[in-house]
Amino acid sequence: MNKAPSVSRDNGGPSVFRFKATLYRHPEAEETGFLALNIPKAVSKNLHGMTKVEGTINGHPFRAPLEPNASAGHRLQVNKAMRRGADADEGDAVTLAILGSEPDPTVPADLRAPLAASQEAKSLWKDLTSMGRRDWIRWIVSAKTPETRARRVRRTVEQLSEGKRRPCCVNVYEFMLRRVQE
């Protein structure tokens, strides 16, 4: 694509990389129906260590794994749901906005004490990936009322104590969409 990728930052949040790419059929994915797109090198070099990215493709939200490509960069597999949401097919140019890496999430103050009080919850919390902890925190902070937030803090500790690694009903795209919208 002709236009160079752009990058923006949102008040200390993760970088947002915006670029265009063309969907192509990868030879290894012939029977799966997956298409792929190559991440520009200028973006790829900033995604070091990331195995999964969040973003939008033609405005459609996604969370998907990155793969190495032949040019020592990254490739993104675009599945049927992503293609439908983006209204795109093989050979089409699509517009992407991808969030760069985020720092490890900080435990909200109202979760710290309840989490520390439960050995089971605290142990599982430490075992979660950054993305797993981020999902729990996003679920808590997305509450619209203090009562709902307090209930979610309680449920987080209960569910972690029961061995649940992900919240049941977090909208994983909510924060990402707020960050990538222009």
**What's residue 146's pLDDT?**
96
CA distance 51 to 134: 15
Give pLDDT tens digits for 43-92. Answer: 988 887 777 888 999 999 998 989 888 888 899 999 999 999 999 999 99
Residue spans per domain, the chain: 6-99, 109-180
Report the side by side order of strands in the sheet with 52-57. 6-9, 15-22, 93-99, 52-57, 60-68, 74-78, 35-38
DSSP state of 46: G
**Does CATH place domain 6-99 in 2.40.30.10?**
no
Task: Give every residue of the chain whose pLDDT is below 70, as ranges.
Answer: 1-3, 8-13, 28-33, 172, 175, 179, 181-182
- 182 contact partners, CB below 8 Å, separation of at least 6: none
**What's residue 2's pLDDT?**
43
The answer, as to whether pTM is greater than 0.75, is: no
**What's residue 92's pLDDT?**
97
**What's residue 30's pLDDT?**
64
CA distance 182 to 178: 9
Say if CB 6 and CB 18 are below 8 A apart.
yes
CA distance 10 to 80: 31
